[in-house]
Amino acid sequence: MSTLWKSRYAQRTLGIKSSAIRELLKITQKPEIISFGGGLPAPDVFPVARFEEACHKVLAEYGAMALQYGTTEGYQPLREMIARNIARYGIFAKADNVLITSGSQQALDLIGKLLINRGDRILCEAPTYLGALQAFNVYGAQYVPVPVDDDGLITDLVDASLRTGPKFMYVLPNFQNPAGVTLSEGRRHQLILLADKYGIPIVEDDPYGQLRYEGEHIAPLVALDRENLRRDNGFTLGNVIYLSTFSKTLAPGIRLAWIVAPEDVILKLVQLKQAADLHTSTFNQYVAYEVARDGFLDQHVKLIRKVYRERRDAMLQALNDYFPPEVTWTHPKGGLFLWVTMPEGTDSEALLKAALAENVAFVAGDSFYANNGHEGSRHMRLNFSHSQPDLIREGIRRLSLAVKMQLRGSHHPVSS
Amino acid sequence: MSTLWKSRYAQRTLGIKSSAIRELLKITQKPEIISFGGGLPAPDVFPVARFEEACHKVLAEYGAMALQYGTTEGYQPLREMIARNIARYGIFAKADNVLITSGSQQALDLIGKLLINRGDRILCEAPTYLGALQAFNVYGAQYVPVPVDDDGLITDLVDASLRTGPKFMYVLPNFQNPAGVTLSEGRRHQLILLADKYGIPIVEDDPYGQLRYEGEHIAPLVALDRENLRRDNGFTLGNVIYLSTFSKTLAPGIRLAWIVAPEDVILKLVQLKQAADLHTSTFNQYVAYEVARDGFLDQHVKLIRKVYRERRDAMLQALNDYFPPEVTWTHPKGGLFLWVTMPEGTDSEALLKAALAENVAFVAGDSFYANNGHEGSRHMRLNFSHSQPDLIREGIRRLSLAVKMQLRGSHHPVSS
């Protein structure tokens, strides 16, 4: 009888691994651990008081309406606000081009559902966002990984990869998760031309775009695509689906994100979302609208930038001070993550065990590679947004002990 | 270029119709319409003040924690509360058997994802819940529909249908949507024995179980199944996945529901949920827990029962008073819906147009049949939970005009 269920699981459950990051979340809830593991925003910058005002206002003004079923597309004032906000980045969209989703993870799931048939190839960065691989794996995706360097996806390698006929390209141009690198402006233009040349669309995932700590803003692919198309009839054409979220600018626990896409794509996604969860929480959409409105979101993003810049700088400084010279790392201009490269032959899973013994956590690099090789084993992803600067410094000190031990090939504990 | 996207849609988008009910929602937002269309709970019984207290308490006591990422399984105190609450119905589950979902629609989607390969057959009721068909259609389900009568699914017809090898049975035993009928106790036992005989599991959807207005509670299938198995080692074995929700007892706009299942099934569903939306809103789970706790949910359900019973009675009375004798309807002992049967040859789509001209709405029966025949065209589903008794009476009066006109075969407007 206990095999009844196992014998009934559909083919699509094969190949899903439980996420290393989510499992790590459980370990890292121990108070003694300094975690660079999750992609957690800093709770100390969540606008709790503003949320409380907003909840009060929404229930006082809208009452039961805010607790009732809503439309699948999302709360209209919120869609309009998002359309207005993204216009400043050159993304000219109407509310009808915006679909509210239950976090960006749902956006990835819906896109996978819409576009991927079992065996379809997806061009992605190597390394890339683990959550996207999980979402796409469910639909039987195969991958064509293209490496990144300090200027993001190496577009010179994309042309050849596109000739293998991928269904779409999945790209994180800003402060990429996990590598922290940013796609240069030149490469963005090149990528748009390639998408056009081969007729292969791009899914542009941009959760961190507003969290830039240095350098100039670079136009998103979706804006360059539109320029390239030189059309003025709204958003009906275009090669790019653009994703962003409130998880990193307001709070992740409200699960609010959005998709910007041509209207016929949105209509299809709406049908799939309706079948997936009817709609995203009405209450959360009303509340987020009240929290974000009247310029609060912009002000708040400035605060987050300031706090996260300090934390990034604290991590870069500590790495400089404590890490051995044969280890290198990226210098992210924004976002939440930094990517460490160790000498060839390092085993980051073993390093993680040693690090946990020192009460510090990170995510081993292997999880971020589509094709399950060992390309990631000399890498680790470090999150710098979650902990305060002094804890970051102490965590990097502890981590350096584990790293040095690992580099010496020793498995004996090192006293601090 | 505009065909770029269309050419890329995966096979699984075929066969999804936009839901008649959701589209109807838009029409019925016009203030002059009396709608028996949606499955909307009554906004006048949403516990708005209690929600406000709960939001305040959650943000004051837990602050940022309630806005941070959470575990995929759900908020532990909420899972434990659900496990305690369902024990009174003979469902003995641990928190580990409970997965919090973003509404029951997500539960149906995850179950479809877990169990359905393209072409798999699902045994379902005829008629059945439209939202389940939508969720399962995405995964390429085929259906083996078995008719219902006043005692629910006609289990005598199930044996033969099970021999066609369906992947699972999808059943709504209590106050079924759309027909309003309840599976009798005898048939429940019969169904459990059949599931066991053929090794074919049951998905038991029970959104309305607590909303009984007359008669005695009947044990859910999941409880009978466990009795039948006579095991005491917890919930590790069993043929039934059980679904329920807070949408009809607290509010639908918070999108909170749950799945109760054997632990190995829950583990698989957790992986799929992680890929689908990471987790359900942390904030909403904290708030719902605070709203429901200390006996509030039970008290509130009593109020809902009282209000809905009055509305059901108002609808039954009005149908008696206004409808012609050749039309019949079910007598639901609970839930939100009542099912009307008109003489052979009635076209309920045409009737709906006539009804909208009289400013009253319902859902035409065809939507609730899996195999897209015209079995439903002599039926309509009427919701009695959303409108107050006097509006219900007026709505049924208006609807009776459209019905009489339709039965006369006339397409001319009838003056009221």
Q: Pick B269 or B410 by higher pLDDT.
A: B269
Q: What is the mean pLDDT of residues A191-215?
A: 96
**Secondary element (H or E) of residue A175:** none
Q: How confident is the model at residue B309 (pLDDT cuts 50, 70, 90)?
A: very high
Statement to judge: residues A197 and A243 lie in one domain: yes
Quote the pLDDT of residue B172: 98
CA B278/CA B271 separation, integer angstroms: 9
Q: Quick check: is B67 in a domain?
A: yes
B-chain residue closest to A3, CA distance: B237
- Report if residue A412 sits inside a domain: no
Q: Are residues A111 and A99 in the same domain?
A: yes
Place of tokens 């075929």: B14
Cβ proximity of A229 and A237 under 8 Å: yes
Are residues A358 and A269 part of one domain? Answer: no
Rg (CA), chain A: 22
A234 lies in the same domain as A310: no
**Residue A30 confidence (pLDDT):** 79
β partners of residue B202: B169, B240
CB contacts, 8 Å: B284 with chain A = 281, 283-284
Claim to verify: residue A194 and residue A335 sit in the same structural domain:
no
Confidence of residue A237 (pLDDT cuts 50, 70, 90): low
Q: Note whether residue B9 is domain-resident.
A: no
Looking at residues A172-178, what average pLDDT do you find?
Answer: 98
Place of tokens 């919701």: B383
Q: What's the CA gap between B123 and B117, in Å, rounded?
A: 15
The first and second tokens of residue A368, run together, are: 């971020």
**Are A234 and A306 in the same domain?**
no
Same domain, residue pair B276 and B344: no
Number of alpha carbons in the 13 Å side-chain half-sphere of residue B399: 31
pLDDT, chain A, mean: 92
Domain final position from B267, B293, B319: B293
Q: Does the pLDDT at position A235 exceed 70?
A: no
Using a CB-CB distance cutoff of 8 angstroms, which residues of chain B are in contact with residue A237? 1-2
Question: What pLDDT is recorded for position A183?
Answer: 98
Collect contacts of B409-413 with beta carbons under 8 A, ≥24 apart. Answer: B411/B350, B411/B354, B413/B357
Q: Do residue B141 and residue B250 come from a single domain? A: yes
Give SS3 for A145.
strand
A5 and chain B: CB distance < 8 Å anywhere? yes
Calculate the CA dihedral of residues B86, B92, B97, B102 and round it to 10 degrees. Answer: -10
Angle at B38 between CA B32 and CA B40, to 5 degrees: 95
Strand-pairing partners, residue B329, are B340
Q: How far is the C-alpha of B96 from the C-alpha of B105, rounded, in Å? A: 21
As a whole number of angstroms, the distance between CA B319 and CA B396 comes to 6
| Structural domain contains residue A140 | yes
> Residue A161, SS3?
helix
Span B370-378, average pLDDT: 83
Cα dihedral A213, A217, A219, A222, rounded to 10, equals 30
Domain range for A63 is 48-294
Mean pLDDT calculated for residue range B375-396: 96
Q: Are A56 and A18 in a shared domain?
A: no
Residue B391's domain is classified under what CATH number?
Answer: 3.90.1150.10
Residue A415 lies in a domain: no
Higher pLDDT, B416 or B208: B208
- Residue B198: the pLDDT is 94
Q: Check residue B5 and give its pLDDT.
A: 85
Q: Within this chain, do residues A211 and A289 fall inside the same structural domain, yes or no?
A: yes
Length of chain B: 416
Q: How many CB atoms lie within 10 A of CB A82?
A: 25
- Mean pLDDT comparison of A228-242, B146-160, B353-367, highest-scoring range: B146-160
Question: Among A294, A311, A328, which residue terminates a domain?
Answer: A294
Q: Could you check whether the bond before residue A178 is cis, i.e. omega within 30 degrees of 0?
A: yes
Task: Please list every residue in chain A whose beta carbon sits closer than 8 Å to the beta carbon of residue B111.
Answer: none
| Sequence-ordered list of residues with C-beta below 8 angstroms from that of A409, at least 6 positions apart, any chain | none
Model confidence over A370-390: pLDDT tens digits?
Answer: 986 778 899 999 999 999 999
Cβ distance B222 to B238 under 8 Å? yes
* CA A359 to each of CA A20, A315, A334, A397: distance values in angstroms, whole numbers, following the listed order: 17, 17, 27, 11
Q: What is the pLDDT of residues A23-78, one digit of tens each?
A: 666 676 778 999 999 889 999 999 999 999 999 999 999 999 999 999 999 999 99
Residues of chain B positioned with their CB less than 8 A from the CB of A63: 43, 46, 48
Q: Return the higher-pLDDT residue of B412 and A3.
A: A3
A412: pLDDT strictly greater than 50: no
For residue A66, which residues of chain B lie inside 8 Å, CB to CB?
253
Using the 3D structure, point to which of A294, A328, A348 is the last residue of a domain.
Answer: A294
* Within a domain: B5: no
Residues B164, B289, single domain; the answer is yes
Helical packing angle, A263-277 and B130-137, nearest 10°: 120
How much is the pLDDT for B16? Answer: 47
pLDDT of amino acid B17: 54
The helix or strand, by DSSP H or E, that contains position A88, with its residue range, turns out to be none
Which of A146-160, A219-233, B265-279 is the least confident region? A219-233
The predicted-structure confidence for A246-263, as pLDDT tens digits, reads as follows: 999 999 999 999 999 999
Q: Is the pLDDT of residue B139 over 80?
A: yes
Identify the closest residue of chain B to A4 by CA–CA distance: B199
d(C-alpha B342, C-alpha B344), whole Å: 7
- Interface subset of A 77-136, CB within 8 angstroms of B: 102-103, 105-106, 109, 113-117, 120, 131, 134-135
Interatomic CA distance for residues A371 and A142, integer angstroms: 8
Residue B98: pLDDT band (50, 70, 90) is very high
Please report whether residue B3 resides in a domain: no
Q: Which residue matches tokens 């593991």?
A: A37
Which residue from B3, B2, B9, B5 is spatially nearest to A231, judged by alpha carbons? B2
Within 10 angstroms of residue B150's Cβ, the number of other Cβ atoms is 11
Is residue A331 less than 8 Å (CB to CB) from chain B? no
What CATH number corresponds to the domain at position A210?
3.40.640.10
For chain B, give the mean pLDDT. Answer: 92
Which tokens go with A193? 């031309």
List all residues of chain A from 159 to 178 with a beta carbon under 8 Å from chain B: 167-168
Residue A385 burial (10 A CB sphere; 0-12, 13-18, 19+) = buried
Whether residue A290 contacts residue A57, with contact meaning beta carbons closer than 8 Å, is answered with yes
Q: Note whether B92 and B119 are same-domain residues.
A: yes
Number of folded domains in chain B? Answer: 2
pLDDT band at B257 (very low <50, low <70, confident <90, very high): very high
